[in-house]
Amino acid sequence: MMNTFDDLCMPFPLFRGPVAHAAVDDGGSCEICKQPASVRFSGACYKCFRNGGVEHTVDTELGMVRVEDAKEGLTHGLPLSDPSLLSDYGLVPHPVDPNFPDERWFHVRINPEFLLELVRTPTYLAWQGERWQFCCKRPCVFLGRLPAETLSDSGDSVVDAIAVWFRSPNWDSVAGHNYGSLTYYTFQCPACSSFRYHEDMD
């Protein structure tokens, strides 16, 4: 059976997928409090990690988020040739780099409470690295990694197929099969319940 962090009494509001999908460390002594831990997060036990005692960074579709960025309510930033693509968000321009005057970078303004929750959440394993999704101006909840072959090929959109799969999710049916590398990293908005995803492959 594929456990979740809730099953281990280690709840994360933004991570509902199987523990096997998380980028975590093996058990050992917590690097902060030195207590033994069955699972460690960036070297820390659950309590120390949730208390914000770790310099944890999360890559997102709106730019990297570090602890210091989260406290300011800003992502570290991303390049945008057309800032109107993110017109729903508050954008803060980076100073123009004289070596790259045509490249414009912008911080994205997000409620600090939401970003601080994100940097106290484990990241997930991905072929090319995580890209946490946002919706309704807040981080989505990570639901898990789905091999592309597990989704219905009825002609529905990927989002529709993901929604169908999560009507009766069965992670044990996915584990242990020799699927291809194309993977969907699935999320759900905690505000509007919409599904989001990104994909990559080996």
Q: pLDDT for 54-90, tens place per residue? A: 999 999 999 999 999 999 999 999 999 888 989 899 9
145 and 75 in a common domain:
no
pLDDT at 93 over 70: yes
192 and 170 in a common domain:
yes
Residue 189 lies in a domain: yes
181 and 142 in a common domain:
yes
Over pLDDT 90: what percentage of the chain? 77
Residue 87 lies in a domain: yes
33 and 70 in a common domain:
no
The 8-class DSSP code of residue 26 comes to P
> Rounded CA gap, 73 and 58, in Å?
14
111 and 71 in a common domain:
yes
Residues 25 and 43 sit within 8 Å (Cβ to Cβ) = yes
**Structure-token pair, residue 37:** 């831990």
Residue 185 lies in a domain: yes
Band of the pLDDT at 97, cuts 50, 70, 90?
A: confident
198 and 129 in a common domain:
yes
75 and 113 in a common domain:
yes
Question: Which residue, chain included where needed, has tokens 């109107």?
Answer: 84
Q: pLDDT for 163-181, tens place per residue? A: 999 999 988 888 877 788 8
Residue 9 lies in a domain: no
Residue 17 lies in a domain: no
Last residue of a domain, one of 121, 139, 172: 121
> Rounded CA gap, 16 and 59, in Å?
18
Residues 110 and 62 sit within 8 Å (Cβ to Cβ) = yes
Angle CA(55)–CA(89)–CA(104) in degrees, nearest 5? 75
Residues 143 and 183 sit within 8 Å (Cβ to Cβ) = no
pLDDT at 7 over 90: yes
pLDDT at 156 over 90: no
**Structure-token pair, residue 23:** 């980028």
149 and 179 in a common domain:
yes
Task: Name the nearest CA neighbour of 8 among 31, 32, 41.
Answer: 41
109 and 39 in a common domain:
no
181 and 148 in a common domain:
yes
Last residue of a domain, one of 89, 121, 153: 121
Q: Which domain holds residue 47?
A: 22-54
CA 53, distance to chain mean position in Å, is 19
pTM: 0.93
114 and 155 in a common domain:
no
Band of the pLDDT at 154, cuts 50, 70, 90?
A: low
- Total domains, the chain: 3
Last residue of a domain, one of 84, 105, 121: 121
Phi, psi for residue 89 in degrees, rounded to 5: -105, 155
117 and 130 in a common domain:
no
